[in-house]
Structure 1
Amino acid sequence: MVALTLTGCVTWFIPPKTAQTSTPVAEQVAADLQPFYSQVLTWKSCASGKQCATAKAPLDWKNPSSGEIELALIRQTAKGTKQGSLLVNPGGPGGSGYDFVRDSVDYATDSTLQQHFDVVGFDPRGVGHSTAVKCYDAKQMDGYLYDITPGTRGSDAWIAENTSVSKDFGSACATNTGALLEHVDTVSAARDLDLLRAVLGDKKLNYLGYSYGTYLGAVYADLYPGKTGRLVLDGALDPAASNFDVTKVQAQGFESALRAYLKDCLAQKGCPFSGSVDDAMKTISDLLASVERSPIRNSDGRELGANTLVTAIIYPLYDATAWSYLTDMFTSVMKGSASTAFTLADAYNNRQSDGTYGDNSTEAFMAINCLDYTYDADPATMRAQAAELSKDAPVIGPYMSYGDIGCANWPYTSTVERGPIAAKGSAPILVVGTTNDPATPYVWAKNLAGELENGHLLTYKGEGHTAYNKSNSCVNGAVDDFLVKGTIPEAGKTC
C-alpha cells in the first residue's frame, strides 16, 4: 500500500530547454545487455522545472533480445554540489515514483537531500508512465472495486462469484497488457533498477524506498550487493512473510491504528463515539455488519458495502494527521450518508471526481503481487484463515479475508519462494520502522533489519505509515546523515 496517493497532471506548456544527457558508467555485462547498459539518456524540461527522460529495458531479463519496454524517469537536479543520483520509490506495488517526484518532491525528500542529490523518480515496469499494465476502463474498474458480491461472505456461492470476477479481471489484463504481464515481478524491476543506476552514471545505487519500495530495495541489494551505495528502506515489508502472513499482520496493524484513533477521538469534542475504546470498536463492527446486510446508496448510484467502508477507514489510518477525516466519515455514515466514505475510498483508489482513474495503481498492484507471492484459494484453507483473521483482528480482519481468490487464477502462476533476504556483501542498509505503522507494522522492520547481513534499524516511536520527512527532526537527521555522509545511527536508536 501506498502511503500517499498523488493526483494532478501538469498540463501547461513549458518552453523546451536545450536537452541534457546522462553518460552511463562502463559496466561489464553480457553482450545482449550491452545495448541497454550503454544507452545515453536524453533529459528534456518538463513539469515544474524538472527534467524527464525515458530508458529502454529488456521485456524479459532472461531473454533480452525478445523485446523491450520503456521506463519513465523524472529528476530534480541537485541544488548544490551533486554527490550522485538518489532514486526514490513511494511503494505500492503500483505507486508512481514519477508522480511522486513531479508533484511531491518536498514530501519525498527534504532540503538536505535535494541539496546533495539529483532526486530521481521512476515508474517501475508495469506502472504509470512506463510501459504499463492495462486491464479495465473506468466503468469496468468501478465494478471491480465497488460492486458488492451477493450472498454470505465465505459461502460456496460467494467464493464462486468472486472467483469468476477475478478470472475476468485477469483475462482482461492479459488481453490488454500483452507479454509484459508475465514480467512485472519485483526481481525484474530490481534488474531495471540496476540498469537505471548505470545509465544515470552512478557506480553504486543510492536509494530511498518506502513501503513496498523497501522490498524492491532489498531484492536489489540481494541481486547486486557490490553495487549498493546507501539504501534507506522506510516502512519495511518482511521478504520472508507469506501472502497470508502479510494479510494477518496488516489486519492487526490497522486494528491497532484504529484503536489509537479512537482513543484520540474520544478525548475530542464532536467525536461520534462514546464510552470506551472497546465500546467504539464494537460500534464500528456493528456498522460494518449493517452495511454488509443493507448497503447505503450514494448519490451517484454506487452502494456502500463493508469492503468499501473498510477501504475508507484504512486510508486515513496511514497518517495520524488525517484522523479528522475519519471522524467526519463515521459521523456521516452513522447518519445514513455514503458520500464521505466514497470520497475517502475514491482517494485511496485514485478515482477522480469525474469517474476516471488517475493512474493504473490498482491494476499494477494486482499484477505485481500475483507474481511476487504464491496463493491458495482452497475454500477450506481460506475459511480457516478467515477464522484466524476474525480472532486476531475482530473488526478489520473479517473484511481482509479470502484475498487469495484475486491471484489464484491469475493468467501467470507465481513460482516465487518467499524467504529472508540477507544481501550478503552489501554496504550498510538503513531500515526505518514506525512502532504503530498500520500498513507495514514495526515487526517487519525489525525482521528485515535482522535478516540483512548489514542491516541497521532506526525506530520512530509514533503513528502512521513510514517516518522519514513526516515525523520529526531526529528521524530526518539520521536518514540525511546516512545518505549524505554514510553515518550509521547507533545501535538501538529510537526517535
Structure 2
Amino acid sequence: MNRRLLGARGIAFALVAVTLLATNPLPQAAWAWQSTAEPNPVAWAPCLQVIGIPLDPAVADCAMYQVPRDYMSGRQDLISIAMLRRRATDPARRIGSLFVNPGGPGTSGLHMAYRAERILAPDVVARYDIIGFDPRGVGLSGAVKCFESQEQYEQTFASRLVVPVTKAEVTAAMRAYRDYALLCAGNAGPLLPHLTTLNVARDLDLMRSSVGEEHLNFVGLSYGTMIGATYANLYPERVRAMVLDGNVDPQLRTHNGLEYDRQRAAGLELVLNAFLDYCTAAGSSCAFSEGDVRAKFVLLRERLRQGPVVLPDGTQVTLSNFTGRLVDGLSVAAQLPELARSLADLYELVQQGTEGRRESGPTDVGSAGWFAIPAADVAGRETTGETPYRFGDSGQGFNCLDKPYPPAPTVLPVLARLWEHESPTFGRMHAFEGVPCTVWPVHWWNADRFSGPWNRNTAETVLLLGNRYDAITRYDFARSMASHLANATLVTVDSFGHTALGLNECADEISTRYLLHGELPSPGMTCSANSPAFPTVGA
C-alpha cells in the first residue's frame, strides 16, 4: 500500500478514535429532566390569527406553546413552539392526539399535519387529532438564521461546490464553510447552543401533556425517528404508539459523526448499484439499459470529474449537481425511470463529443487557504443586500451538536480521498458535508445532548419501517435501530425510496392496524414493492 495513503489513513482513524473516546454520555440526572409544575394547556386559535396562514378553521387550528430555552440552567427564559392541530374527522370515535414529524433536521412539521392524508390512512385521520410542530429553531419556532440577507448567503457560498475535486475547489469549499461557521457565531442568536434532539424530545413531552394526553402517540420520518428513539428512552413508560419510518442509527449518529457519514455514503452506493442492476434487468423498460450500464455510468461520472458538460440549452451539468440529482432520483421510487432517461440523454451527449469542458474551476482563493482568514474578516464585512434570507440553519445546528466530529477540519479532504475508494460516487460529497461541524461555534462536548442508552423497555412495542433500498437512511440503520431499542419490531419494505408511509400499501395497512388497534405484524415481516422499479413499456 502507498505509504502516503497509509499515513493519511492512520491520521484519519486516530481522529475518529479521539471522537469516540471523547464521547461521554451525560449522567442520568442531566438528561432525565422533569418539570416541577404541570404544563399549561395549549390555547388553540385560528391559524390565521396565530401564524398568519389562512388555513380552513373547520379543519385545523394553531398555537404557540412556550417551553424552556435551556432545560439545565434553571432560568425562566422561554421560547415559543409553533403547533398545528388537524382535528379528527370522526370526533365521536376519537382515540387521542397523534404527533408527527417529517424529519430534517430543520424541517417544519406543520404542513405534514395539515396534509396528513398523504402519509396516514383515512381511518387514522378520522380518529386522531394530528398534531405537527416546528421544532425549536425551525420555521415559526424562532428560526435560527446565520445570514443577514440572501445576498450574504450567496456571497459566502458563491465558489463552493458540494463535491470539490481540484485543489482550488477544495480550498474554496473549506473557506466557505469556515465563513459560514463564523457567521453563525455572530448571527444565529442564543438558541444555537440548545439545538439538540434531547431538547426537542423534552419539548415534545411538554406538548403531549399540554394537550391532555397521558401517553404519546407519534409518527416520525427520517430524522424524526431520532426524535422518537430519544423520547422512547427518556420516557419509556409514556409510549403508547410509535411508528418510526426511514430510521437513523441512533448509537452511531450520537457517537461518531464521521463513521455515520461514511456509512451513509456506502449505503447510497449500494442503492445506486441496485438501481443499475434493476435497469439492466428491465431491458427496454429502462432508458439507460442499452449496452454495459455500469460502464456507461462510470464513464459519465469520471467525465464530470474533468469538468462540466454543457447541455444544448446552455445548462451546465457539473459533478456536484450530477451527484445531487442522483441522490434526489434514488430517494423517490417513482423517479427512477426519469433518472434513467436523464442518464441516457447525458450519455448520448458525451458520446457525441460536443459537450463543453472545464476551462477553470472556481476562483482559487490562494495557497494560504482558509486557515489564514481571521474572524474579523468575515464578521466585519459590509453586507449591501436587502433580500431577506430565505432559508434556515437549525438543521446544521442539530447535526453539529448531535453528531460528534473532531475539531480538525483538515482531516475531511483526506477522508474524501479515502471514502471515494469505497464509495466512488458519493464518498467525496459525504466527507465534505461534515466540514461545518468541525469548526462549529458551539462544541458538541459542551452541549446538553443525549447519546444513549437506547435499550429502555417501552410500555408498548415501537413499530419500525425500513425500505431495503433507502438512499438517505440505509436499510442497515433500520436494523440497527431495531437491535438497539428494547421493545421494537421491524417491517422490511422491499422497495426503493426514502420512507414508506403513503407510498407502500402493505406498510400503510400495517401501520394503520397498529395505530388504531395496537396490532403488530408477524416477526420478520416483509412488504413487497407496490410496482416494479421500471414498469413494463406499454403496460
**1:128, 1:359 within 8 Å by CA — same for their partners in 2?**
no
Matched, 1:398 2:428: yes
Cα distance in structure 2, aligned partners of 1:84 and 1:236: 25
* DSSP 3-state at the match of 2:188: helix
Counterpart pick for 1:42 among 35, 41, 44: 44
Residue equivalent to 1:471: 504
TM superposition shift of 1:94: 1.1
Matched, 1:484 2:495: no
Matched, 1:53 2:63: yes
Cα distance in structure 1, aligned partners of 2:291 and 2:346: 19
User: What pairs with 1:81-120 in structure 2 (closer than 5 Å)?
Assistant: 81-102=93-114, 104-120=115-131
Matched, 1:243 2:257: yes
Cα distance in structure 1, aligned partners of 2:184 and 2:467: 35
Cα distance in structure 1, aligned partners of 2:239 and 2:138: 24
TM superposition shift of 1:383: 4.7
- Aligned CA distance change for structure 1 residues 297 and 162 (closer, same or farther; 3 Å): farther
Cα distance in structure 1, aligned partners of 2:329 and 2:356: 18
* DSSP 3-state at the match of 1:321: helix
Residue equivalent to 2:467: 434
TM superposition shift of 1:399: 2.5
Aligned pairs, number: 441
Cα distance in structure 1, aligned partners of 2:101 and 2:162: 38
Residue equivalent to 2:480: 447
**1:154, 1:383 within 8 Å by CA — same for their partners in 2?**
no
Deviates more, 1:237-246 or 1:329-338: 329-338
Residue equivalent to 2:371: none
TM superposition shift of 1:198: 0.8
- Aligned CA distance change for structure 1 residues 128 and 404 (closer, same or farther; 3 Å): same
Matched, 1:261 2:275: yes
Q: Which has the larger radius of gyration?
A: 2
* AA of the residue aligned to 1:373: K
Matched, 1:199 2:196: no
User: What pairs with 1:277-426 in structure 2 (closer than 5 Å)?
Assistant: 277-290=293-306, 293-294=307-308, 305-330=318-343, 333=346, 335=349, 360=391, 363-376=393-406, 378=408, 381-415=411-445, 416=449, 418=451, 421-426=454-459
For each residue in 1:120-143, what CA deviation from the matched residue of structure 2 results, as whole angstroms up to 9, or x when unmatched?
A: 111111111211111223334345
* DSSP 3-state at the match of 2:519: coil
Cα distance in structure 2, aligned partners of 1:428 and 1:150: 40
TM superposition shift of 1:273: 6.2
Alignment gaps of 5+ in structure 2: 1-32, 48-53, 350-354, 358-386, 528-539
Greater relative contact order, per chain length (Cα 8 Å cut-off, separation 6+): 2
**1:274, 1:280 within 8 Å by CA — same for their partners in 2?**
no
**2:181, 2:441 within 8 Å by CA — same for their partners in 1?**
yes
Residue equivalent to 1:493: 525
TM superposition shift of 1:432: 1.0
Matched, 1:76 2:86: yes
* DSSP 3-state at the match of 1:42: coil
* AA of the residue aligned to 2:260: V
- Aligned CA distance change for structure 1 residues 64 and 120 (closer, same or farther; 3 Å): farther
- Aligned CA distance change for structure 1 residues 324 and 214 (closer, same or farther; 3 Å): same
TM superposition shift of 1:320: 1.1
- Aligned CA distance change for structure 1 residues 38 and 128 (closer, same or farther; 3 Å): same
**1:89, 1:122 within 8 Å by CA — same for their partners in 2?**
yes
Cα distance in structure 1, aligned partners of 2:316 and 2:200: 37
Cα distance in structure 2, aligned partners of 1:151 and 1:327: 22
> Normalising by structure 1, what TM-score?
0.81
**1:208, 1:231 within 8 Å by CA — same for their partners in 2?**
yes
Alignment gaps of 5+ in structure 1: 1-27, 339-355
Cα distance in structure 1, aligned partners of 2:158 and 2:110: 27
RMSD value over aligned CA atoms? Answer: 3.1
TM superposition shift of 1:468: 1.7
Cα distance in structure 2, aligned partners of 1:297 and 1:131: 42
For each residue in 1:187-212, what CA deviation from the matched residue of structure 2 results, as whole angstroms up to 9, or x when unmatched?
A: 11110110111111111110000000
Query: Identity rate of aligned residues, in percent?
Result: 28
Counterpart pick for 1:276 among 277, 282, 292: 292
- Aligned CA distance change for structure 1 residues 143 and 434 (closer, same or farther; 3 Å): farther
> Normalising by structure 2, what TM-score?
0.74
Cα distance in structure 2, aligned partners of 1:357 and 1:243: 32
Residue equivalent to 1:6: none
